[in-house]
Amino acid sequence: MEYDLVFRGGRVVDGSGLPSYVADVGIKNGKIAELGRIKGGGAKTIDVQGLAVAPGFIDHHTHMDAQLLWDPYGTSEPQHGITSVIAGNCGLTLAPVKNGDEDALVQSFVRVEAIPRFALEKGVPWGWHSFRDYLDKLEGCLGVNMGGLVGHIAVRQYVLGEESVERAANAREIQRMQQLVAESMEAGAFGFSTNRNERHMREDGKPVASRFADIEELLALCDPLGNLNAGVIQSTLGQYKFKNFELYEQLAQRTQRPIVGLVVVHRSARPEQWIEQLKATAAAFQKGYRTYRLCHTVPLVRYFTLKNGQAFDEFPTWKTLMFMDEAARKRAFADSETRRKLRADLADPRPTVFHRNWNIVRVEKVVQPANEKYVGKSVAEVAAMRGQDSLDAFLDLALEENLETTFWNANSGGDPQAMGEIMQSPYVLIGTSDAGAHVQYGTGFGYATTLLGLWVRGRKLLSLEKAVHKLTFEVASVYGIEGRGLVRPGYAADLAIFDPDSVDACEAEWANDYPSGTKRLIQRSVGMHYTVVNGRIICADGKLTGELPGQVLRGHAYRPEAGAAG
């Protein structure tokens, strides 16, 4: 047989952004061997007419460092067409590590990334020291491909021990840390990650180690990337502040490496902020600095009723009412003097999480058939239909229905036009899955299938070609992942094969698949037919096949043997 595997008749969306076309894809030895009309046969041939054949998606913001040690697939990544993950974000890695320091690293993972301690204790088979040892531990045991960034927290702990969460480093310590970063880069790291988020603490309440680094230390630790001419600088900085942009520019100028910075998000409470962020980013690129941003594809949506809602807890009168028993609450909502206070609460100009915009609170579900006409309408629209003002319409509708009306609210990501502009920006990378983290609070596995289902098919904000480009070749290019991210001869046969007419993410669901049955959330998809890694199918119609073709990906500075820097 000429090929190991042939996918026949699919629509190739090749990752470049060029228009898609119908072609067969022939795979040999883990690589794409031929594209177009393939006359020869394959050991296995699969008819994929009507399906899109795209490069496998690259999830570049994960915390899969630990999970991959017990789950070679990083479940539920393959269910969403993801074939490569980058771990080691936000300053957090499991290497380098000294004997006895393991728990200090676990402390940060438990608190910052909300990975249950029990799972980490049972599931991480410690024993490595260097970043190279850690990567080698994973080699040959993977379903998906993985690449790693080396984390500031681990590097700092290695050199300063427990004093890493107490003080600044001296010149000698900084030099030793630089050496560790350089060694890790030569082991194949795709860059360096740091974390200055003022809310990020360890389990014992101490700030994470990287927060004690002054700017001088941070700049110094990025220097090895500049010197080796490789890698990205991934930086988690917490709340949006203008001075962060200056820091990004400084890092980019000094190293000439790409910066992967904080998320650009549309917040309903501050609806202009994303525009300001994109402008500042564009200005940095104009100067020649690659200071990329990230974005989410999944709107942060909450459903609530006035029986159980917490959306108004930051307003004192509302909060008092929500803690009353229901009969008293209903009387209060109906009382005109109380309404005056509720209105005054919302008019208070201090910043709040709730945006107070009735155009983006919608009626999701009603109880009474007569109110069906309001479903899907915003509260502002309902108010117009009823000839009332919005607050009265909101409360009266809920009262008519015994407080059982379900409302929809998006504090961020709820404005399609803003989301469209953010996602299409050439300066914004798609994918902030945080996969492997916050495992009992939510899931981001579905960011790619949500992009394809909600934003490409549903809202038609991006073309399929553009969306696939952003999920694949764009990421591979910024991170320097060579030979992946395109469907072209010679490229690795990492593929996501899906039905563009049905692909989507499902709601999260509970599973007990973490070590010793620890509970966590997983997410399935629809319309994702085959996920192929290095020429082998790892997931077919949502089911893992048991194949382990994943590789440890290594960056541009990789040297096969530990070099002089060690």
> CB of 396: closest distance to Zn ion in angstroms?
43
Q: Which residue is nearest to Zn ion (CB)?
A: 90
β-strands 543-544, 536-540 pairing:
antiparallel
Terminal-to-terminal C-alpha distance of the chain: 46
Gap between the Cα atoms of 540 and 391, Å rounded: 49
> CB of 437: closest distance to Zn ion in angstroms?
6
Which is nearer to Zn ion, 153 or 393 (by Cβ)? 153
Stretch that binds Zn ion, among 85-93, 135-143, 396-404, 529-537 (CB under 5 A): 85-93
Told to check if 432 binds Zn ion by CB under 5 A, we report no
DSSP string for residues in 132-185: HHHHHHHTTSBSSEEEEPEEHHHHHHHHHGGGGGTS---HHHHHHHHHHHHHHH
Count of residues engaged in binding Zn ion, rule: CB under 5 A: 2
Any idea which residue has 């930086």 for tokens?
Answer: 235
Which is nearer to Zn ion, 90 or 379 (by Cβ)? 90
Dihedral (CA of 317, 318, 323, 329) sign: positive
Told to check if 360 binds Zn ion by CB under 5 A, we report no
> CB of 109: closest distance to Zn ion in angstroms?
11
Residue 83, token pair as written in the block: 């074939």
Answer for the pair 380, 394: CB distance below 8 angstroms, yes or no. Answer: no
Told to check if 439 binds Zn ion by CB under 5 A, we report no
Told to check if 450 binds Zn ion by CB under 5 A, we report no
Told to check if 90 binds Zn ion by CB under 5 A, we report yes
Stretch that binds Zn ion, among 83-91, 96-104, 293-301, 422-430 (CB under 5 A): 83-91
Indicate left, alpha or beta for 36 from its phi (over 0: left) and psi (-120 to 50: alpha): left
> Which spans in 78-125 are helix H?
102-112, 117-123
Q: What is the residue type of 326?
A: E
Burial class (CB in 10 A: 0-12, 13-18, 19+), 171: exposed
Gap between the Cα atoms of 454 and 447, Å rounded: 10
Which is nearer to Zn ion, 90 or 119 (by Cβ)? 90
> CB of 113: closest distance to Zn ion in angstroms?
7
Cα–Cα nearest to 279, from 478, 421, 455, 469? 421
Which is nearer to Zn ion, 309 or 431 (by Cβ)? 431
> CB of 61: closest distance to Zn ion in angstroms?
6
Stretch that binds Zn ion, among 5-13, 74-82, 90-98, 251-259 (CB under 5 A): 90-98
Stretch that binds Zn ion, among 24-32, 84-92, 344-352, 448-456 (CB under 5 A): 84-92
Residue 215 DSSP label: H
Told to check if 244 binds Zn ion by CB under 5 A, we report no
Told to check if 89 binds Zn ion by CB under 5 A, we report yes
Which is nearer to Zn ion, 90 or 363 (by Cβ)? 90
Answer for the pair 198, 243: CB distance below 8 angstroms, yes or no. Answer: no
Told to check if 153 binds Zn ion by CB under 5 A, we report no
Told to check if 85 binds Zn ion by CB under 5 A, we report no
Which is nearer to Zn ion, 105 or 395 (by Cβ)? 105
Residue 464, token pair as written in the block: 């399929």
Which is nearer to Zn ion, 90 or 493 (by Cβ)? 90
Residues 530-559 that bind Zn ion (CB under 5 A): none
Query: Where on the chain is the footprint of Zn ion (CB under 5 A)?
Result: 89-90
